[in-house]
Amino acid sequence: MTYREELLRLKIYGKQVAEKKIYRIPKVSAKRKLQIVEDKALLEQDKIFYKEIWDASPHVCGECGCYLGKEAMTTFFHHLLPKKVYPQFRHTPENIMILCTECHYQVGMNVDRLPAVLRREEEAVRVLLPK
Protein backbone atom coordinates (compact mmCIF):
# COMPACT_ATOMS: atom_id res chain seq x y z
CA MET A 1 0.00 0.00 0.00
CA THR A 2 1.39 3.40 -0.98
CA TYR A 3 1.67 6.31 1.38
CA ARG A 4 -1.19 8.15 -0.35
CA GLU A 5 -3.49 5.14 -0.10
CA GLU A 6 -2.67 4.74 3.60
CA LEU A 7 -3.31 8.43 4.16
CA LEU A 8 -6.72 8.20 2.45
CA ARG A 9 -7.63 5.14 4.50
CA LEU A 10 -6.79 6.89 7.75
CA LYS A 11 -8.69 10.05 6.73
CA ILE A 12 -11.78 7.97 5.92
CA TYR A 13 -11.77 6.47 9.44
CA GLY A 14 -11.51 9.93 10.98
CA LYS A 15 -7.96 9.86 12.19
CA GLN A 16 -5.87 13.03 11.89
CA VAL A 17 -2.68 12.44 9.96
CA ALA A 18 -0.12 15.08 9.04
CA GLU A 19 0.84 15.25 5.38
CA LYS A 20 4.43 14.35 4.61
CA LYS A 21 6.30 17.46 3.59
CA ILE A 22 7.96 17.05 0.21
CA TYR A 23 11.39 18.65 -0.11
CA ARG A 24 11.93 20.46 -3.37
CA ILE A 25 15.41 21.41 -4.49
CA PRO A 26 15.51 25.18 -4.87
CA LYS A 27 16.25 26.59 -8.29
CA VAL A 28 19.57 28.30 -8.84
CA SER A 29 19.20 31.96 -9.67
CA ALA A 30 20.73 33.41 -12.82
CA LYS A 31 23.10 35.49 -10.69
CA ARG A 32 24.27 32.39 -8.78
CA LYS A 33 24.71 30.42 -12.03
CA LEU A 34 26.95 33.20 -13.35
CA GLN A 35 28.95 33.17 -10.10
CA ILE A 36 29.43 29.39 -10.37
CA VAL A 37 30.72 29.72 -13.95
CA GLU A 38 33.10 32.51 -12.91
CA ASP A 39 34.38 30.46 -9.96
CA LYS A 40 35.03 27.45 -12.20
CA ALA A 41 36.93 29.62 -14.68
CA LEU A 42 39.03 31.13 -11.87
CA LEU A 43 39.87 27.68 -10.51
CA GLU A 44 40.94 26.57 -13.99
CA GLN A 45 43.20 29.65 -14.25
CA ASP A 46 44.63 28.80 -10.82
CA LYS A 47 45.37 25.25 -11.96
CA ILE A 48 47.27 26.48 -15.04
CA PHE A 49 49.12 29.16 -13.05
CA TYR A 50 50.17 26.74 -10.28
CA LYS A 51 51.43 24.23 -12.87
CA GLU A 52 53.63 26.93 -14.45
CA ILE A 53 55.03 27.91 -11.04
CA TRP A 54 55.60 24.25 -10.11
CA ASP A 55 57.42 23.49 -13.37
CA ALA A 56 59.68 26.54 -13.01
CA SER A 57 60.78 25.91 -9.43
CA PRO A 58 62.63 23.25 -7.45
CA HIS A 59 60.17 21.04 -5.63
CA VAL A 60 61.29 21.97 -2.12
CA CYS A 61 59.68 23.94 0.70
CA GLY A 62 60.79 27.58 0.75
CA GLU A 63 60.95 27.51 4.55
CA CYS A 64 62.27 24.16 5.79
CA GLY A 65 63.76 22.85 2.53
CA CYS A 66 62.00 19.47 2.57
CA TYR A 67 61.39 17.71 -0.75
CA LEU A 68 57.74 17.97 -1.89
CA GLY A 69 57.66 15.18 -4.46
CA LYS A 70 56.87 15.23 -8.15
CA GLU A 71 53.15 16.02 -7.98
CA ALA A 72 52.00 19.52 -7.06
CA MET A 73 49.18 20.03 -4.58
CA THR A 74 47.30 23.31 -4.20
CA THR A 75 48.28 23.41 -0.51
CA PHE A 76 51.91 23.94 -1.55
CA PHE A 77 51.21 27.43 -2.96
CA HIS A 78 51.15 30.25 -0.42
CA HIS A 79 50.05 33.75 -1.45
CA LEU A 80 52.32 36.21 0.34
CA LEU A 81 49.76 38.99 -0.11
CA PRO A 82 46.36 37.36 0.62
CA LYS A 83 44.25 36.86 -2.48
CA LYS A 84 41.11 38.04 -0.63
CA VAL A 85 42.69 41.40 0.11
CA TYR A 86 44.74 41.71 -3.09
CA PRO A 87 42.87 39.78 -5.83
CA GLN A 88 44.90 41.59 -8.50
CA PHE A 89 48.02 39.66 -7.37
CA ARG A 90 46.36 36.24 -7.37
CA HIS A 91 48.24 35.12 -10.49
CA THR A 92 51.48 37.02 -9.93
CA PRO A 93 54.55 34.77 -9.56
CA GLU A 94 56.24 37.22 -7.16
CA ASN A 95 53.30 36.74 -4.77
CA ILE A 96 53.69 32.94 -4.54
CA MET A 97 55.91 30.95 -2.21
CA ILE A 98 56.04 27.17 -2.29
CA LEU A 99 55.68 25.67 1.19
CA CYS A 100 55.17 22.16 2.54
CA THR A 101 51.83 21.43 4.15
CA GLU A 102 53.17 21.83 7.70
CA CYS A 103 54.83 25.20 7.05
CA HIS A 104 51.77 26.44 5.15
CA TYR A 105 49.59 25.46 8.12
CA GLN A 106 51.89 27.31 10.56
CA VAL A 107 51.77 30.45 8.40
CA GLY A 108 47.98 30.23 8.18
CA MET A 109 47.57 29.80 11.93
CA ASN A 110 50.15 32.50 12.78
CA VAL A 111 51.65 30.01 15.22
CA ASP A 112 55.23 31.03 14.64
CA ARG A 113 55.83 33.52 11.88
CA LEU A 114 58.42 31.70 9.84
CA PRO A 115 61.52 33.79 9.02
CA ALA A 116 61.83 32.91 5.32
CA VAL A 117 58.13 33.63 4.78
CA LEU A 118 58.43 36.97 6.59
CA ARG A 119 61.38 37.98 4.39
CA ARG A 120 59.48 37.01 1.23
CA GLU A 121 56.34 38.87 2.41
CA GLU A 122 58.39 42.03 2.98
CA GLU A 123 59.95 41.62 -0.46
CA ALA A 124 56.53 41.11 -2.07
CA VAL A 125 55.16 44.23 -0.37
CA ARG A 126 58.18 46.23 -1.55
CA VAL A 127 57.90 44.96 -5.15
CA LEU A 128 54.14 44.74 -5.62
CA LEU A 129 52.93 47.62 -3.47
CA PRO A 130 55.27 50.54 -4.17
CA LYS A 131 54.50 53.70 -2.20
Q: Give the list of residues 6+ apart from residue 83 with CB closer than 8 angstroms, or none.
A: 89, 90
Per residue in 9-61, pLDDT (tens digit) is 776 666 565 666 788 888 889 999 999 999 999 999 999 999 999 999 999 99
Whole-Å CA distances, 26 to 29, 32, 70, 75:
9, 12, 43, 33
pLDDT of residue 11: 65
pLDDT of residue 16: 61
CA–CA separation, 103 and 13 (whole Å): 69
User: Which pTM value belongs to this model?
Assistant: 0.72
Per residue in 87-106, pLDDT (tens digit) is 999 999 999 999 999 999 98
